[in-house]
């Protein structure tokens, strides 16, 4: 609030104070003739419908309570959800037709068995996927978000074409059910990770709730459109396929734009590799926005070093002499080396290793990966040399990360939970 002198206005009572609600509603309080406090009519009342929609669909305190990329992401995410809702209606129609709706020779028992098998295989797939990939979903939320939407389109396509192959109908429906359950795990988990990023006032519940309201409204609009479109194409398979192709193209494009609009300030392996490569070439740190634009979104892309953090000590070495070689020139809280089983780079973390130590270990692995191969007999000499290089460059690199807006007190480098304690005073 700001205060002004009551004598500030010459043609009327002075402004005592002003009041605002977020960035929208504002009021002025004036001094009345009898000394009372009078509220000046708020001009924002003309936009009462807009304020109502904002309070209904957007988090409280928007836009300051969410990240800067929130609105762009939600707009594209709304568009993709609409396209997915309509294609889902097409898939439902095909499933009902394939299950025998409208066919006098079909039995209720056969249709029931098909749906039970579909749901059962989907549940198994959900559990197995969460077990195999659950820990990776946080680290590469954008990739897995895009993967989930791609897989959802594959599942819908299988459901639409399943009636054309009666002998394989149950098998295709079950496969589509597995895909959709994987989509549910990957999509739900990555949505939670993105909510953590977007909620800037410890308002995760509010952001999540408003996202649910937006999705419900979009699905309702999709159902209304489907009520009009589905009867028009129900008698023509080619019209159904053409509509699916158009909506899927829109769905994939909107998904790509939505995921690409996200600017994560925490470092994962891909973003760290991009930032480090630019730093080594140009001597400057890329901002989170610039690095996120370069981040690959499809699995298998990117050139980051394959390194595992927080591995058990036994997987990295089997003798005291090997440990001494890994400690040579090492003053850090990690032991970086090559796994004995796969030959890939891995790091054993000290009990007191912080997020900065994990970032340093990953940076070290990137540099070491460029300078040596796992089969190189001189690799331990190169390792000691790179320790000295890290001692010189990493403090400036870390300071540059903080200055550029990166979050370094936490990371998404997928470190496992193994920790080891050794005597730092005995390090060479």
Q: How confident is the model at residue 292 (pLDDT cuts 50, 70, 90)?
A: very high
Q: How confident is the model at residue 68 (pLDDT cuts 50, 70, 90)?
A: very high
* Selection from 313, 399, 383, 298 nearest residue 349 by Cα: 313
Find all residues with CB under 8 Å of 385, minimum gap 6, and list them: 329
Q: How confident is the model at residue 178 (pLDDT cuts 50, 70, 90)?
A: very high
Residues in the chain: 428
Percentage of the chain beyond pLDDT 90 is: 49
In the chain, what are the domain boundaries? 6-49, 70-262, 267-426
* Kind and range of the H or E run holding 143: helix 141-161
| 249-276: pLDDT as tens digits | 999 999 999 999 999 999 999 999 999 9
* Selection from 249, 129, 233 nearest residue 190 by Cα: 129
Say if CB 350 and CB 333 are below 8 A apart. Answer: yes
Number of Cβ atoms within 10 Å of the Cβ of 222: 21
Say if CB 282 and CB 93 are below 8 A apart. Answer: no
pLDDT for residue 163 = 86
Instruction: Using DSSP, state whether 26 is helix, strand or coil.
Output: strand
Find all residues with CB under 8 Å of 102, minimum gap 6, and list them: none
Q: What angle do CA 415, 350, 140 make, to 5 degrees?
A: 10
pLDDT for residue 273 = 93
Report the alpha-carbon distance of residue 293 to residue 288 in Å, rounded.
Answer: 9
Say if CB 97 and CB 230 are below 8 A apart. Answer: no
CA atoms within 13 A on the CB side of 34: 2
Q: For 57-86, what is the mean pLDDT? A: 91
Q: For 306-325, what is the mean pLDDT? A: 89
Q: How confident is the model at residue 122 (pLDDT cuts 50, 70, 90)?
A: confident
Q: How confident is the model at residue 96 (pLDDT cuts 50, 70, 90)?
A: confident
Q: How far apart are the first and last CA of the chain?
A: 60
Instruction: Using DSSP, state whether 407 is helix, strand or coil.
Output: strand
Per-residue tokens: 316: 């990295």
Number of Cβ atoms within 10 Å of the Cβ of 111: 17
Say if CB 249 and CB 260 are below 8 A apart. Answer: no
pLDDT for residue 308 = 93
The highest-level CATH class for domain 70-262 is: mainly alpha
pLDDT for residue 425 = 63
pLDDT for residue 343 = 83
Kindly report the backbone phi and psi dihedral angles of residue 21, in degrees, each rounded to the nearest multiple of 5, phi listed first: -120, 105
Whether the predicted pLDDT of 24 surpasses 70: no
Whether the predicted pLDDT of 6 surpasses 50: no
Report the alpha-carbon distance of residue 230 to residue 240 in Å, rounded.
Answer: 8
Per-residue tokens: 373: 């191969």
* Selection from 276, 210, 226, 283 nearest residue 87 by Cα: 226
Minimum mean pLDDT among 102-116, 187-201, 349-363, 401-415: which range? 102-116
Please state, rounded to an integer, the average pLDDT across all residues of the chain: 85
Report the alpha-carbon distance of residue 323 to residue 334 in Å, rounded.
Answer: 12
Whether the predicted pLDDT of 11 surpasses 70: no
User: Cα dihedral sign for 388, 392, 394, 395?
Assistant: positive
Per-residue tokens: 235: 């008698």
pLDDT for residue 64 = 86
| 346-356: pLDDT as tens digits | 999 999 999 99
């Amino acid at each position: 609030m700001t205060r002004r002198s009551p004598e500030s206005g010459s043609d009327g009572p002075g402004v005592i104070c002003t009041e605002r609600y977020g960035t929208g509603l504002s009021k002025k309080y004036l001094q009345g003739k009898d000394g009372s406090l009078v509220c000046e009519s708020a001009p924002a009342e003309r936009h009462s419908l807009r304020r109502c929609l904002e309070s209904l669909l957007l988090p409280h305190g928007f836009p300051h309570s969410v990240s800067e990329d929130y609105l762009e992401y939600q707009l594209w995410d709304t568009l993709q959800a609409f396209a997915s809702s309509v294609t889902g209606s097409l898939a439902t129609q095909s499933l009902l037709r394939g299950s025998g709706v409208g066919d006098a020779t079909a039995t209720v028992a056969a249709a029931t068995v098909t749906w039970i098998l579909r749901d059962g295989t989907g549940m198994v797939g959900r559990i197995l996927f969460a077990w195999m990939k659950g820990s990776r979903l946080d680290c590469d939320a954008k990739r897995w978000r895009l993967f989930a939407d791609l897989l959802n389109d594959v599942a819908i396509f299988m459901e639409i074409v399943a009636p054309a192959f009666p002998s394989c109908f149950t098998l295709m429906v079950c496969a589509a059910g597995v895909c959709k359950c994987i989509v549910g795990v990957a999509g739900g988990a990555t949505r939670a990770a993105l909510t953590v990023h977007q909620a800037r006032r410890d308002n995760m519940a509010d952001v999540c709730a408003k996202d649910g309201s937006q999705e419900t409204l979009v699905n309702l609009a999709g159902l209304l459109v489907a009520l009009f479109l589905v009867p028009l194409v129900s008698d023509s398979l080619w019209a159904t396929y053409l509509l699916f192709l158009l909506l899927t193209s829109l769905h994939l494009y909107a998904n790509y734009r939505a995921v690409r609009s996200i600017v994560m300030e925490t470092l994962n392996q891909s973003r760290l590799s991009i930032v480090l490569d630019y730093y080594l070439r140009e001597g400057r740190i890329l901002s989170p926005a610039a690095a996120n634009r370069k981040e690959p979104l499809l699995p298998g892309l990117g050139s980051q070093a394959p390194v595992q953090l927080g591995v058990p000590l036994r997987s990295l070495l089997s003798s005291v002499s090997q440990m001494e070689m890994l400690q040579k020139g090492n003053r850090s809280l990690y032991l970086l080396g090559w796994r004995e089983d796969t030959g890939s780079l891995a790091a054993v973390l000290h009990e007191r290793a912080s997020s900065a130590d994990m970032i340093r270990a990953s940076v070290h692995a990137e540099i070491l990966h460029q300078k040596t191969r796992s089969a190189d007999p001189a690799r331990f000499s190169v390792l000691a040399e790179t320790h000295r290089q890290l001692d010189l460059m990493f403090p400036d690199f870390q300071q540059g990360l903080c200055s550029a807006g990166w979050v370094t007190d936490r990371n998404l480098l997928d470190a496992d939970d193994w920790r080891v304690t050794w005597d730092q005073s005995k390090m060479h």
